[in-house]
Amino acid sequence: MLNMSNNKEPTSQQRDVINYSNNIVVMAKPGSGKTYTISEKIKGILKNSLEYQGVIAISYTNKASAELKHRILNLGVNAKSSFFGTMSLFYLVEIIYPFGNHIFGNPSTELEVCGKEDESDEVIKGRKVLQGKDMDNLLLNDIKILATLYVKGFILLETIDALAVYIYKNSLACRRYIKARYTHVVIDEFQDCGKMQYEMFIKLVNDGLTGIAVGDKDQSIYGFSGKSSDYLLRLVANPDFKPFYLDKNFRCHKSISDYSLRLLDHSYPMNDSLEKRIFKRRVSGSEKAIVQYIEKLMPSIKKKYNFHKNSDIAILVPSNSYGDLIACHFTIKHKYFKKTALDEDSSLWATIFKSLLSYIQNRSANIYEFCENYFDVEDDNLMFVKLYKKIEALREKFSTLRLARKVERFKNIAELVYPKADNETAINNLSEVLKDPESIESFTPASDDELQIMTLHKSKGLEFKIVFHLGLYKYILPKEGYDKNNIWNYTEYDQNLNLHYVGVTRAEEACILLTSTKRHNGKGDEKQGVDSEFLSLNGLNNYQA
């Protein structure tokens, strides 16, 4: 497969995106060289910017942000005036922390971002008043509650978006600063954008920044948290934005790419002469039989597709509970990336803790690169060196430290990077992870001889030689249950279809859609394993080997 990072010449589609200078919305399919294209575009922007100017580059995860920043740095571009990070981080460090006091007054103590588990009286009281309110449509009286909390040193995690938008709208100094500092705002994974993020993006564009939105409506998998591809489609229809399409898949075998596109579009033309790389298999038995089938097939599949590492094989499951049912039956080495207490904590300190755990558990990871994400080695040399030494010491002594000392060391590093983001919930979540060896192990990358087991959600953005896509049963994918009108129906059909699409497109060489005659539900009861309707959607059963 073509590796776009090593491809010196962009395709015509990519070149059009890179060269266009006004507002754009890029619809990028999996494996289309999206990150390469964004990197090259930002490189061109920064080379033509003044030294003090940069871009706002928003990614959905800190990992994706770090990858994008390193790509830019590797292209030999000065990115120190640019922002790379998540939207929440941008809101905090560029809007709320520096300009909140212009609107609400000075906080009486160091600001603390409070997660949902924070039990301080003021926070509980504030949350009680806001309970049931739509965070995307807070009224002035609600903002007054947030202002009162702010002055007392508290920022509710779930109100960061609303707080930032309010401050930006009402602080002329903030708007002038953003416009002077940044020329462009780039948001990746725009299909997972919420209402407030969309509104902020439009405000920034209306205030003079050039807008670049990148996404794929078919990879929207976070509908349960208020995210929607509707905002991406609004931009496509917006006359102020020119749409571009990256639809050539460099990652997957052509038959996998075609299959995934037919999954979403019944009129997509299929090539009957192509070698089929989507395989449908149904085994007799339940989860144990599935695992036995996979283990038996592995030697021949590695030989057929000419690779040696077990870590190039992914077992993708619809949920953690189903993953538990599968992982317990493997007799060969495997890596099960289980959900941890930190996974759904998006606070600044939690992101630091997760990154630190990944670096500690991966001995080959470069501490220098970690530090580069937070401090410039030239402009902030003292802070850079201080952070480097703290992380190096923590990594060396991690296995011998007691729990309390580990937590203290992690906290010291978080205070150095984000001194205003003290978060008791994140500290508690960190403690839960550090107490549990299995949770810590989830931050260790798979070794070459380990199969990788993870949820479909966790697999987004990753790629594997071979994918075993499990859980394709009636009632599971797509989910069925009683809707808000107490009528039995599909509860998350579009989200589930997109999840299936994500699963299929993780495969480079082959994807095996594997079901069984029996399955177990969440209560442990054995049920009939009825195949999902997704397996025959749009006539796709005719294109499975």
Is 24 part of a structural domain of the chain? yes
Average confidence score pLDDT of the chain: 89
Section 380-385 average pLDDT: 84
455 annotated to a ligand binding site: no
For residue 98, is it within any domain?
Answer: no
pLDDT recorded at residue 141:
73
Regarding whether 453 and 435 lie in a shared domain, the answer is: no
Per-residue pLDDT tens for 520-529? 988 889 999 9
According to the annotation, is 393 in a ligand binding site?
no
Q: Are residues 137 and 208 in the same domain?
A: no
Q: Provide the domain limits for residue 362.
A: 342-442
Q: What is the mean pLDDT of residues 4-26?
A: 84
Tell whether 437 and 402 lie within a shared domain. yes
Q: Are residues 177 and 303 in the same domain?
A: no
Let me know whether 64 and 195 are in one domain. Answer: yes
Q: Is 35 annotated as a binding residue?
A: yes
Q: Does residue 530 surpass a pLDDT of 70?
A: yes
Q: Tell me which of 246, 281, 302 is where a domain ends.
A: 246
Q: Which amino acid is at 205?
A: V
| Residue at a domain's end among 246, 270, 304 | 246
Is 74 in the same domain as 187?
yes
**Chosen domain end from 246, 272, 297:** 246
Claim to verify: residue 180 and residue 38 sit in the same structural domain:
yes
Q: What pLDDT does residue 228 have?
A: 64
**502 Cβ contact partners less than 8 Å away, ≥ 6 residues apart:** 30, 219, 221, 456, 459, 460
Q: Indicate if 359 and 398 belong to the same structural domain.
A: yes
Say if 166 falls within a structural domain.
no
Tally Cβ neighbours within 10 Å of residue 306.
8
Q: What are residue 214's DSSP bridge partners?
A: 26
Residues 424 and 361 in one domain: yes
- In terms of domains, do 68 and 217 share one? yes
Burial of 122 per CB tally in 10 Å (0-12, 13-18, 19+): middle
Alpha-carbon torsion 39, 213, 241, 169, what sign?
A: negative
Percent residues over pLDDT 70 in the chain: 94
DSSP assignment string, 364-417: TS-HHHHHHTTS-TTTTHHHHHHHHHHHHHHHHHGGGS-HHHHHHHHHHHHHHH
Q: Answer yes or no: is 28 a known binding residue.
A: yes
Residue 113 falls inside a structural domain = yes
Average pLDDT over residues 495-513: 94
Asked if 317 and 328 count as a contact pair (C-beta separation under 8 A), the reply is: no
- What percentage of residues in the chain have a pLDDT greater than 90? 56
Q: Does residue 515 have a known ligand-binding role? A: no
Q: Is 125 a member of any domain?
A: yes
The answer to whether 31 is a known ligand-binding residue is yes
The two tokens of residue 58 are: 């928003």
Query: Are 185 and 50 contained in the same domain?
Result: yes
Kindly state the average pLDDT of the residues 98-103. Answer: 93
Do 253 and 541 meet the contact criterion of CB atoms below 8 Å apart?
Answer: no
**Contact yes or no for 287/516 (Cβ under 8 A):** yes
**Residue 226 banded pLDDT, cuts 50, 70, 90:** low
Averaged pLDDT, 502-521: 96
Lowest-confidence region among 58-62, 89-93, 441-445, 538-542: 58-62
Asked whether residue 97 is domain-assigned, the answer is no
Q: What is the pLDDT of residues 176-194, one digit of tens each?
A: 999 999 999 999 989 888 8
Structure tokens at 77: 């571009």
Question: What pLDDT, on a 0 to 100 scale, did the predictor assign at position 117?
Answer: 67
Q: Tell me what pLDDT residue 57 has.
A: 95
Q: Is 32 annotated as a binding residue?
A: yes
- The predicted-structure confidence for 401-458, as pLDDT tens digits, reads as follows 999 999 999 999 999 988 878 888 899 999 999 999 888 988 888 999 999 999 998 8
Mean pLDDT lowest among 115-129, 477-491, 508-522:
115-129
In this predicted structure, what is the pLDDT of residue 236? 92
Q: Is 120 annotated as a binding residue?
A: no
- For 21, the token pair is 């200078």
Other C-beta atoms closer than 10 Å to the C-beta of 365 total 15
The CATH number linked to 517 is: 3.40.50.300
Number of domains in the chain: 4
To which H or E segment does residue 509 belong?
Answer: strand 507-516
- What is the pLDDT, as a whole number, of residue 3? 44
Please give the full DSSP string across 95-142, using - where no structure is assigned: IIHHHHHHHH---SS--EEE-TT---HHHHHHHHHHTT--TTS--HHH
Whether pLDDT at 116 is above 60? yes
Instruction: Tell me the HSE value of 302 on the side-chain side, using a 13 A CA sphere.
Output: 16
- DSSP secondary structure string for all residues of 442-508: TTSPPPTT-EEEEEHHHHTT--EEEEEE---BTBTTTBEEE-TTS-EEESSHHHHHHHHHHHHTTEE
pLDDT in tens, 202-223: 999 999 999 999 998 876 655 5
Q: What is the pLDDT of residue 227?
A: 59
**pLDDT, average across residues 322-341:** 93
Whether residue 213 is contained in a domain is answered as: yes
Q: What is the pTM of this model?
A: 0.76
Q: Quick one: 433 and 452 in the same domain?
A: no
**Is-contact 281 529, C-beta < 8 A?**
no
What digits encode the pLDDT tens for the residues 257-274? 999 999 988 999 998 888
8 pLDDT exceeds 70?
A: no
Is 100 part of a structural domain of the chain? no
Instruction: Band the pLDDT of 14: cuts 50, 70, 90.
Output: very high
